[in-house]
Amino acid sequence: MKKDYLEKLRTGVRMSLGEQICMILNLSFPAILAQLSSIIMEYIDASMVGHLNSRASASIGLVSSSTWIFGGLIMAAAVGYNVQIAHKVGAGKEKEARSIVKQGLIIAFIYSVILMSVAVLISGPLPGFLGGSSEIAADASAYFLVYALFIPIKQINSSATGMLQCSGNMKLPSILHVFMCFLDVIFNMFFIYETRVVTLFGLSIKVYGAGMGVKGAAIGTALAEAVIMLILLYYLFFRSEKLRLRPGEKLRFQADCQKLAVKIAFPVAIEQIIICSAYVMSTKIVAPLSDTAIAANSFSITAESLCYMPGYGISQAATTLIGQSFGAKRDDMTKKLGYLLVAMGMFLMALSGALMYMAAPWMIGILSPDPAIRSLGTRVLRIEAFAEPFYGAAIVANGVFRGAGDTLVPSCMNFISMWVVRIPLMAYLAGRFGLVGVWIGMCTELIFRGCIFIVRLRGKKWHTIK
């Protein structure tokens, strides 16, 4: 049914409102599932490490904003080619789409090796720069170093996932990302903990472990991603209906393809640097408060991310739908779909915000047994719940704009929102209300960001860009 809807979109067939909603749901649900599984992996890491001690939790929390920067740069490189693939598939130019796949994967790998080199170089001094205490610096540095070494795997994983999604295949990546969660648990159990005896159904079982602690969490996650990357590449090259390799189609690097990739990806990369560097600055604001505040902040961000994953899932579907609609020159559908996608994103994230408010103590409790961390984390999560619908508007609208190739103006909007509104507010309120003040500033900024993205959506320029 999903293929029928996309075919109607590409071929200019008129679609009712019910069909448009079904098409969005068919594409969004698998994407939401994939996003949730990625966050569940972070949840698993944080929870398993959190039961070691509070210093172990704080060490991961200290460098988490830095891993987001590199994760954002990885995503930006993938977007530069994925949007082009969506446009080509929408226009029925599948041979050109396959050419972009080959070019994109090779360039993305080279780019990721450069990112890896930079990340390895800064892994040592990074905890000190972020203001972490000497007690957590060694673990934080080791965790980030392992993350850095596996950046090429993360890049290919992200690129292959996005390519399949932009061709219309949302189902397979979501299934594989769920499977990755199970692999993450298995690998983490071995790498994080020491060899121990576990009682199961009255039987004592010896479970072997490497006892690597914080570093083991990074290794376990990286190995799970490596397994999924291999499966994704196999499907992309040999099984994908539209993108698999065909005999006689040779690799050719095309200057126009690379220029357009840079034109699309560069603003996204700058946007990710802006957003994630603001997260680094947020970490520097939080770090002097206490180790408890660092851990509560990190756990609360991880817990909150479960609630905004519906928005990111719809955003991924938006990039595919708007991209294919744009490529098929469906001007009659592009803006209607943009409105509908954002409305659904706001609705779902309003529901998730309400659930987060009610379940906040439980969500933090899973991550840490420390009463002080649980109490503080619950308070800040409940503050953030009020901003979720507006955050949903910003997330989904950004996906809509990317599908049309409009990335520059949204990047500028994110810069203004993060550095003109969020950071000054957080710095001011942190000195007066501690971590609670930090999250009040964050909540205020997210509401502002959602409003300016809605204003941009109502304009005409984003869906008429060349």
Can you give the pLDDT at residue 2? 45
Q: Which two tokens stand for residue 51?
A: 């039961």
Can you give the pLDDT at residue 43? 65
**CA–CA separation, 392 vs 380, rounded Å?**
19
Can you give the pLDDT at residue 383? 93
Give, in degrees to the nearest 5, the angle at Cα 45 between 43 and 46.
Answer: 65
pLDDT single digits (tens) 331-362: 778 888 889 999 999 999 999 999 999 988 98
Confidence of residue 465 (pLDDT cuts 50, 70, 90): low
Can you give the pLDDT at residue 292? 80
Can you give the pLDDT at residue 440? 94
Confidence of residue 1 (pLDDT cuts 50, 70, 90): very low
Rama region for 54: left / alpha / beta (φ>0; ψ in -120 to 50; rest):
alpha
**CA–CA separation, 130 vs 457, rounded Å?**
36
50 or 204, higher pLDDT: 204
Lowest mean pLDDT among 172-181, 193-202, 211-220, 236-245: 193-202
Q: What is the DSSP string of 99-131?
A: HHHHHHHHHHHHHHHHHHHHHHHHTTTHHHHTT
pLDDT single digits (tens) 245-295: 998 888 889 999 999 889 888 888 888 888 777 877 887 888 788 778 888
Can you give the pLDDT at residue 22? 82
Mean pLDDT of the chain: 85
Confidence of residue 446 (pLDDT cuts 50, 70, 90): very high
Residue 13, CA distances (Å) to 4, 20, 128, 327, 332 in order: 11, 12, 59, 15, 11
